[in-house]
Each structure stands twice: as C-alpha cells, then as structure tokens.
Structure 1
C-alpha cells in the first residue's frame, strides 16, 4: 500500500458542506465545521453531459439516464461520489495499485502532499448534485462502514520532526464518511507501516500470522490469526479476503470475522475456515464441522486430500463455499451452499476446472462472478464460461469443446446478460444471455461493459468520451 507523507506538520481536514452545485470555501486549516444546508433542492437539475453514441449495450436501456465528462465515481449506493481537483477536472481511478477485483473504483485521489479537492455527491438516478464537500487531503478512496455500508475514507497526515534525539514521527488521520457526506468515524494511525480501512476498522499486520482489527471511532482491537506451523496470514485489499495460504474468506462480513486454522501447512490436517463473532471471538461456524460436498476427494480416514478452501459469500443465513477437488486436481473446485444455523448443505454442487493462467497472482481461482441479485454465478473454466445457480448448485449451462472460450467479466444490472472476453477479442467483449448462452453482441468495446450500481436498476461505465449512466433494460 502507498505510504503518505505530508510536507507540513499539523494539517487536518478543512471542510465546507453546501447544497446544490455551488460550494463555499472551507474553514481555515486546523478547524472543522459545516457550512450551509445539507439538503438538496426539491427539483435539482438533471446532469446533462455528452451523449453516448457507441454500440448498443445488451442489458441496458437504449437511452442514457445522464452523463458527465470523463470521470470515475465511488459508488455509495444512492449517490455517486466524484472528486474534482482545484482546476475543476474530475479524477479518474484505475491507475492505482491493489484496486478492487470487480472493476469498481477503489482510490480516486492519492498524493504525497495535501491538495484542495471538491467532492461531489450526485444522485445515481438523475446525476443531480445533492451536495458538495471541500477537503484538503492526500487520499480519497472507497471503503465500507459497519455491516458493509458503502462509505469513503479521507486521509491526511502530519509529521513531527526530530528534535535531534527523537525519531521523526508520522500520524495519519483517517475520516470515514457516508453517502450523505456525514462523518461516520475518525481514527489516527501512528507510524509509517501500511494499513487498510475496511468495515469500519483499521486493518494492519501484527505479525506474520496475525492481523489486528482496530475499530474506527474507538473500541477494543481484535486480533485474527492463522494457526499452523509457519503459518502466514494477510489481508488482500483487492478482494477483501483473509489469506491463509490455501484458505481464503471475507475477513469481515457483517458482525462476523473469519480466521484460518492449519494455515500454510498440511502436517496434520487440511486448512479450515472458521467464522466467529467479531466482538466476542465466539465460534459460529467452521468448514471442519460440515460435510464436504460430493466430488471432493477424501482419504481412507475420511479427510479431504486438498487443503484448498474458500468462502465466496455469506448472506441470508447461508454460506457459499468452494472446495479443492483433490490433492492432484489443483485447478478443480466444487461449490456448495450451507445453512449457517444447522450446517446442512442446501441444494447440490457445481464442479468446474480452471485453466492455468500464469498472470493470476491473486487469489481468484475458485471464485466466481455473481449477478447483482445472486441468481446466477459464472466461473472461468478450462472450456470457457460455466453459469450456475448459487442457491441450489445447479449448472445452467457450460461452454463446450470447440467453442471459443469466454472469460466472464460481470453480469448486467438486471442479471440477464453475462459479459466476457475471448482470446481473439481485440479489446472487445461478448454479451450473452445468462440463461441460454445466446450471443447478444460480439463486438462490444470492453470499456463499455457496464458496472452494476449498488442502486438497483442502473449500470454505468466510463470511456474517453465521458461517464455514462443507463437504466437497466426493462
């Protein structure tokens, strides 16, 4: 993660909060206050930028909802957050390291010195400016608050110079805001060691096998460990997973956290994923307490021969898992859904094999891309894409031998279209019917493949021509 150093000591956020498209100057440095009303006008004007004249996009309506000049947003649910520089240009993401795997914007601004910025909160449906916020900061990035609530973080730092004997000291101030621009919490991090902000916590490496989770705004820090001989344990900001070697799961999900047992070793038993209460540490669920799905190879003692295990999703009292099929089937996975309370498997399972990809340096194998409504999931297999239903494990369709293998990218906002790329595609993508595999478009520009807004029923994308928001196809 980037380290941030400020040239002047003692700087803090300066804020100015106003309604509509205008913005007043923020208070002087060292103070923090709100100015003006936080309420948007009753009939705020719709954003009217460039008109999209590119290829029609299956899964989106024919007519755009609104647009802006080239820009990238942080998706906060009912609002998009845009960052404007002092010159008035919109910031664009994508050029920073360790960005989210789902294609959304992680970091919108990062600099070595504090810079004056204007943050615009725009209505997802109309693009109307709900409010603006002026900050002087070094870092603005997407994050989440407690229970996965969309949020963003703003960082500033101050460096205390050495008096000749003492060491130079840096303190980073992290302020987290919600979709309405209200402050959710603040924390300070001393020292120049890297840290991440996730689910209302500062996440940092305590030692090789331990992560420390410190609540923002106060509270008792919690340590999460990966047990096992020579175990390692880290947090991957790209997929928000804990990485214990062969075991991967969401570090925090709602009021729970995962840790790994037998991490990075298979001396006595395969790795296991354990979910526990975030505040108390009490165990709630473990892969060791459920029966692996059919298709997972077991030894003579009934122990699975592969240590590879993932938790893909936790929601509605269910846990979606992916299990390594066997010790010598390193690219083959079996998915299964379990009921959290009983540990009982729900529905069947799906088995698929990945093709080796040397550029895959992150923990994506065993994962899938999901439709926004979680009705469908798509996996990249040896023969191309496989679409299956997470609810019951049923395979919907799979590519066959002889077809051009398509790597799935994402689903449309309504979940009915799957977008993907093929090896012979030159910066273009396919759009296929998610339920039938029927090709709907074969020359879609890859930068026009939409992201699904957290606001249901809308998709968006950014090209050199502008930023465009479309309703989902009816």
Structure 2
C-alpha cells in the first residue's frame, strides 16, 4: 500500500473523466438571472434561501449571502459559479475525481462544447463582479504562476477523417484570474493533459513529463531516473509520482523530479528540487541528513525508499521520510532550510492509518491549517496535531479514544473530522485544533465547510442552497 503503485493519471483517464475535456475564450457580459432564482442582479447582494441548519463551529451563526443549490471554485477573493444555457447552477460533484482537500476540481462538464456563463462573485458580499459567456465542455479549478488560484475553461474540437486521414482532436484551454481577466490561452493536440501553475502538463514517455507554459515560452521536461523508472502527475494532489517518492510537481519557481525512481535500484530514491525555468538543481534529499528516527543500514543509507515533500514555502522544505523497511506505515516529518540544507527544529514520527482504498495522500501526509502553523496527521490512534515549523506535537489521540480522521482546518483553528464505529455510519465533528476540546460532536456531512483562504470566509453547499459565512467573531 505504501508504495503508491497506482498511477492517478492512468486511473482518471481510464474512467474517461479527464480526457476529452476542453475550452474556449469568453466574452464579457452582464446578464440578469435566467432562472428566476432571486440570485440578485450584478452589483447586488444575492437574496437566496434562508439557512436553517445547525451552528458550525468556526463560522458565524448566520450566512451573509446565499444562492440556490450550487458549487463554486474558490479563486481567493472571488467564488466562480457556472450556469448552463438554461440558467441552472452547476453542482460539480461526480464529474471528476475531486482534489484531496475536498474542494471542487471540475465544476462543469458536458460531452460536447455548449454555451455557459461564468459568474465571478465577491466572496464577502456575493455581488457579481463579472460574467463571461463561453462555449465549453469543461470548467475546472487550476492555478496560475506561483500557485495563484485560477479557473481553466476547455473546448475540444474534432476534425473527422475524410476516409483516409486520421481523426484529429485539438483542445483549447483558456485560463482566467479571479477578476475574470484572461491570463493565458493554449491549444494542444489531443485531450490527454492537465493544467497546473500556468503550464500544460503532458506525459512524455513512461519516465518524463513535458511542462509547456501557457501563453508562450520554452517547454521543459521533468524526468525521473532509475532502472525501469516511471514518472507521472497526479492532478488530485498536484504531485509528481516517482515510485515511492512524491512531491509537488511545481511549487512557485521550483519543480521536482525523482532520482533512482525504481525499487530495482540499489540506491534509495531521492527528491530533487530544480529551478523551474532553468532546470538547475536547488536542493535535494541526497544532500541533507535524514531526521532522527529514520532507520539507516550499515552503509548509512536509508532502509526505506519511501519519501515525500509536503510543502515548500518561505525558503524551507517540509519533508516526510519512511521510518524503515520493516515499518512501511511509519513516517518521520522534518523541515529543512533550502539555502543551508540544515534541519530546522525537531521532527514528528507517526504510524499512519493504512487505507487500502486510498493510494494518493493518506500515508506520510497531513492536513494543514491555512497558515500552516498547525498540521493534523491521520495516525493509527486517530488524530495527532503538530507544528510543521518545529515538529512539536500539540496533542494526539490515545488508545481507547474514538479515533478521528482529520479533514480540514478553519483559518481560526477549528479542526473538522470524522469518526466511525466498526459497522456504523460516519459521524462528523469539530474540535479545537489547539486544545482538542470538542466543539460539535455531530454535524451533517454537507455542513463541513470549505474556506476561502484569503478572506477566512467559509461556505457550504447543501440540498437547500449555497451559503457563505464570515468567521466566528
């Protein structure tokens, strides 16, 4: 299980959920609501359905605005909604494998390009900032350079065979920012590619990925080396998959690749961070000392090839190392300074819950608070909360407690999670991330909020409507 042998791109393509999706550019317009749903005209706060659900810890008691049932793509200070030609809001669920953080990946999907309206709404007020009329068969969340939230609009075109020539498919993808401004456009042969951080990402053989900047610029390859090496991109967590090693493919101005990306190599796998523009090496796990708790052999080499980079920010790299060959579910986290290669603070060691149904981000990973001051690990005993900056544990569940799986943090430190008896349904709850105090022991699943990180506002989508709340005062 801990070897992540399932390639996510292959899974998604096999399901037909990523391939065959595409975009077109849009024209600005400001139409009124087409479906009489009291969503409010442009510039006005929408007056949607009233909220009658339970209080949600971390959020104010009442929403500041609402819409009829809908889902949205979070663009920071803006929420992006999609209406079809009949004026109905897109729900989003079921179109594609969702990101591991529970947010929307693909919001709108049709078999062929159709007219749709993009609605950019202010997170805090619900006011429509801009609308765009587009023809599209898929609208999905993406990022622009440096991880800035953006939306990708796809449109696929097929030239049929004349009887001798092959049928040809091209896909145009247009990326828009939070204000509805076009950031870039690219047209690519076929439809089997991903869009991330302002790049078109395509598989280039088994061991390489091709990264082409949207809007122009030289493409570069990211290649995983090693005997029978394989290298792929997982769009659910935006990680490179190189055997037992995983890392963000692109993070800011850096990209990752894997050396010795095969269990057939004598040398352990290593994660290498390079300059995205030049390919020059910046940092590597081969050049740092593994943290205390990682088992080494008589030659000083790691006995486990399992390795992850969880985050890169503020000149530091947050890592997770397999503890040892005989401890496949135990990981040790540590933070390193990029410039010096020295470890910063201590480390945290956890035995993660082994989930055979999840091969992408359960083991050796954690749920992070929006400001990354806290992280919650899903361990064999339940939840453990720790500080990424210094590796210090804040609290951890013990044997005999009802084990909680962490889901996400609110900006003000509330941790939402789920518990489950052996044969009973899942129960959703909220606890204080710092003190472990239970704030709500039963919440409907649809009332577990997502958060706009820039504003701190939370939002939920239920069968009764889409509701946006400010943070709890």
TM-score, L = length of structure 1: 0.92
Question: Any conservation in 1 of the 2:293–2:323 contact (CA below 8 Å)?
Answer: yes
Higher relative contact order (CA 8 A, sep 6+): 2
Matched, 1:4 2:3: no
Is 1:418 paired with 2:415?
yes
Could you list the per-position Cα deviations for residues 60-102 of structure 1 after superposition, in whole angstroms to 9, with x for gaps in the alignment?
Answer: 1112111111100011111100000111110011212322110
SS at match of 1:447: helix
The aligned residue for residue 257 of structure 2 is 259
Q: TM-score, normalised by structure 2?
A: 0.92
Provide the residue aligned with 2:311 in structure 1: 313
Alpha-carbon contact 1:5-1:159 (below 8 Å) kept: no
Stretch deviating more after TM superposition (298-307 or 243-252): 298-307
Distance 1:137 1:398, change over 3 A: same
- Structure 2 contact 331–364 (Cα < 8 Å) conserved: yes
Rounded to whole Å, the distance in 1 between the matches of 2:353 and 2:24 is: 48
User: Cα 1:14–1:178, aligned 2, differ >3 Å: closer, same or farther?
Assistant: closer
Shift in Å at residue 22 of structure 1?
A: 6.8
In structure 2, the partner of 1:277 is 275
Measured after TM superposition, the shift of residue 45 of structure 1 is 1.7
Deviations 1:277-324 (A, max 9, x none): 011100000001111111111111111111000000001111100000
Matching of residue 89 in structure 1 with residue 100 in structure 2:
no
Is residue 21–residue 132 contact of structure 1 (8 Å, CA) maintained in 2? no
Partner of 2:171: 172
Hey, what's the Cα distance between the residues in 2 that align with 1:51 and 1:439? 27
What is the aligned residue count?
A: 449
Deviates more, 1:110-119 or 1:155-164: 155-164
Number of the residue aligned with 2:38: none
Counterpart in the other structure of 1:435: 434
How much has 1:266 moved relative to structure 2?
A: 4.8
Q: Which residue of 2 aligns with 1:359?
A: 357
Shift of 1:452: 1.4
Structure 1 residue 235 corresponds to structure 2 residue 233? yes
Provide the aligned C-alpha RMSD in A.
1.7
The Cα of 1:54 is off from its aligned counterpart by 1.1
Instruction: Tell me the CA shift for residue 191 of structure 1.
Output: 2.7
State the alpha-carbon separation in 2 of the partners of residues 296 and 473 from structure 1. 41
User: How big is the shift at 1:20?
Assistant: 7.7
- C-alpha separation in 2, matches of 1:121 and 1:335: 39
Which runs of 4 or more aligned residues in structure 1 lie more than 6 Å from their structure 2 counterparts after TM superposition? none
Report what 1:349 is aligned to.
347
1:375-394 to structure 2, matched below 5 A, reads: 375-394=373-392
Matches within 5 A, 1:210-225: 210-225=208-223
Is 1:128 equivalent to 2:127 in the alignment?
yes
Displacement of 1:14 after TM fit? Answer: 6.1
Which runs of 5 or more structure 1 residues have no equivalent in the other structure? 7-11, 24-39
Q: Distance in 2 between matches of 1:268 and 1:106?
A: 38
With over 3 angstroms needed to count, the CA separation of the structure-2 counterparts of 1:371 and 1:401, relative to structure 1, is same
CA distance in 1, matches of 2:62, 2:21: 45
Distance 2:368 2:19 in 1: 33
Provide the secondary structure at the position in 2 that maps to 1:207.
coil
* CA deviation vs aligned residue, 1:40-64 (integer Å, no higher than 9, x gap): 98xx321221122111111111121
Give the secondary structure class of the aligned counterpart of 1:288: helix
Matches within 5 A, 1:14-413: 15-19=26-30, 21=32, 44-192=43-191, 194-413=192-411
Change (3 A) 1:55 1:215: same
Report if aligned partners of 1:4, 1:111 keep a CA contact under 8 Å in 2: no
Range with bigger deviation, 117-126 or 106-115: 106-115
8 Å CA contact 1:387–1:397 kept in 2: the answer is yes
CA shift at 1:171, angstroms?
1.0
**Is the Cα contact below 8 Å between 2:21 and 2:154 reproduced in 1?**
no
- What's the secondary structure of 2:460's corresponding residue? strand
CA contact (8 A) 1:174 1:188 kept: yes
Say whether the 8 Å CA contact 2:419–2:426 is kept in structure 1: no
